[in-house]
Structure 1
Amino acid sequence: MNIHALRLFYYVAETGSVTKAAVRLNISQPAVTSQIKKFEKELGMPLFNPQGRGISLTSFGAELAKQAGNFFTYEEQIEAFVEDYRAGRKGKLRIAATYLPANFLVPGWAARFKAGHPEIEMVITTTNSQLAFEQLKRHEADVAFYGGGAEEKPDDIDWLELFEDELWFVVAPSHPYANCTVTLPEMMLEPFIMREEGSSTRARLVSLCTAYGLKPPQVTLQFSGLGEVIRSVMSGYGANFISSLAVREFVERKQLARVRVEGIRLKNNIAICTRRNESLTAALQQFIEICRTPAPEM
């Protein structure tokens, strides 16, 4: 069907005048009349009843005008949706985040973003670094938030570093090493409570031991979440190697204690990761800008 001719017919039917339709469309009246006659021939049915002045729709013409009105209204809705999506007012953001940013950073950023983008759907998945990168590469996520070592950076990922925080060894306040300085070999003799394999921090601990020619510590308890790890160490058993962002508050409240290890000072990179050479949607660009901007109370 000739959509341009359907539009001409709809405007004639809506305005009740070929002249008014021509003015609205900014074309000549004879051109409107000619194209509608061709349209009637294409359809094989008359759209207007012959009469002197004014127009009178046939029953088919009246029903077609109604259907055309629905069609063009829907077309306007689609155009509005495209414009809203282009401007970042509508759409969906799929976020994969490793445990550190997922627990301590992304919730605040998401709340600030949603306050100004109520019609954007946000789906946030908490996972380890390996799976976060896989979701990003498989287009199952639009962005990944990573907390870990920069050496894990994949070659096909764009990496925007937000800031760094320290990695700490922590124990319960009652532990013999609490608030003490020990050697790395001494620390590695302690039982450790860690997250599952695939965790960036656990991989950093293994790499640290390898660099110093030491056997990695025995992981005697393993959890899939940070909260469980922290609470287990607070209960008095074992040690943990963890981001200061996750435990600083507990250390300040003396629910956990740091153990300083001679010559060891490692940093965690907090980064936003996106697929290389791929344009970002307006909504994602606006969300990333919020993540880069300190909150008003900070």
Structure 2
Amino acid sequence: MDREPDVAALRALALIAERGSISAASSELRLSQQAVSLRVRSLEHEIGVPLLVRSARGSQLTAAGELVIGWARPLLDAATEFGAAVQDLRAGREGSLRIAASLTIAEHLLPGWIARWRGLQGPSGATATLTAANSSAVIAALRSGEVDLGFVETPELPSGLTAATVGRDRIEVVVAASHPWAGRTVSPAELAATPMVHRERGSGTRLAFEQALAAAGHPLEVEPAAVHDTTLGARSAVMAGVAPGALSVLAVRDDIRGGRLARVAVSGLEITRPLTALWRGSDPTAAAQALLDEALRPVEPTA
């Protein structure tokens, strides 16, 4: 190459390799598929060798592409750190902390963490702004520099971001108190063959549930009975008797205690997932580290 490497094109290539397709990478980069494809083709032209094998089933790196991404990884990590430092400089990060969190953490854990964090800082300390979204959207917001700190529940963690586990969560299968499954034990096979209330794709709750069933040898076989993009919507649908649902114990424990929902045991299957903090660069900002100190207190979700 006669000029400096195109970091944007290398990042696009890395995301295609990670996500398995140009369409998935374009969605995360918030660019058109054509724009992402042009970046990669320009990189291939500059280097002089094919980097991707494109097909109707997706895109995979060639052997040369694997080498290029391996060489590019330190450069991409350094670019991410540089971007985070510039964001800190531009926004005066001492006075604000932008947080994005997936819904279960945003609704049930972050309010307490932020309250303790603010109490330790006093009235002149940093302020926090919180965006609640599913895990995929939180990761995209971190990559784009829209937020300083993210919290996700997905078992699949992204590359290029620093991660710290802050606790673990348990997914419970629950039904309305009047449902025939209330008080029963069902098998993974029966669960996989039953239409259920689910969160939307991109949700850590849904991904953890699907992966646990697949690992038990019983991948989901049927379409959902209903799909909701909020925990509250999914919980309400289950409570109304639409179908069984799989939700965080943090979201349903009060309803189980109050008799509004009933837990369903699944023989030989316990579904857990990590609760993870994410940030750009090697070290979080001072304000983010102070909040992390609160989040890193042990989390023991019990019903």
Partners in 1 of 2:218 and 2:260 — Cα distance? 32
Offset of 1:117 from its aligned partner?
Answer: 4.3
Question: Structure 1: which 5+ runs fail to align?
Answer: 1-81
Task: Give TM-score scaled by structure 2 length.
Answer: 0.63
Q: Say yes or no: does 1:133 pair with 2:139.
A: yes
2:20 match: none
167, 184, 200: which one aligns with 2:204: 200
Partners in 1 of 2:273 and 2:219 — Cα distance? 22
SS at structure 2 position matched to 1:197 = coil
Partners in 2 of 1:288 and 1:180 — Cα distance? 40
SS at structure 2 position matched to 1:171 = strand
CA contact (8 A) 1:169 1:258 kept: yes
282, 288, 291: which one aligns with 2:292: 288
1:143 match: 149
259, 263, 274: which one aligns with 2:264: 259
- Residue type at the aligned position of 1:194: H
SS at structure 2 position matched to 1:168 = strand
165, 176, 180: which one aligns with 2:180: 176
CA contact (8 A) 1:191 1:238 kept: yes
1:271 match: 276
- Residue type at the aligned position of 1:128: N
2:15 match: none
2:244 match: 239
Q: Say yes or no: does 1:111 pair with 2:115.
A: yes
2:64 match: none
Deviations 1:48-74 (CA, angstroms, capped at 9, x unpaired) = xxxxxxxxxxxxxxxxxxxxxxxxxxx
Partners in 2 of 1:234 and 1:206 — Cα distance? 21
Offset of 1:190 from its aligned partner?
Answer: 2.5
Deviations 1:77-132 (CA, angstroms, capped at 9, x unpaired) = xxxxx9xx7xx8x4111101001100100111112222324342311010111111
Deviations 1:135-178 (CA, angstroms, capped at 9, x unpaired) = 111111101111232xx111222221121122111111111111
CA contact (8 A) 1:129 1:198 kept: yes
Task: Give TM-score scaled by structure 1 length.
Answer: 0.64
Q: Say yes or no: does 1:228 pair with 2:236.
A: no
Identity %: 30
Deviations 1:173-209 (CA, angstroms, capped at 9, x unpaired) = 1111112111112122332112211111212233334
1:5-16 equivalences under 5 Å are: none
CA contact (8 A) 1:173 1:254 kept: yes
Question: Bigger radius of gyration, 1 or 2?
Answer: 1
CA separation of 1:293 and 1:207: change in aligned 2, threshold 3 A = closer
CA contact (8 A) 1:166 1:243 kept: yes
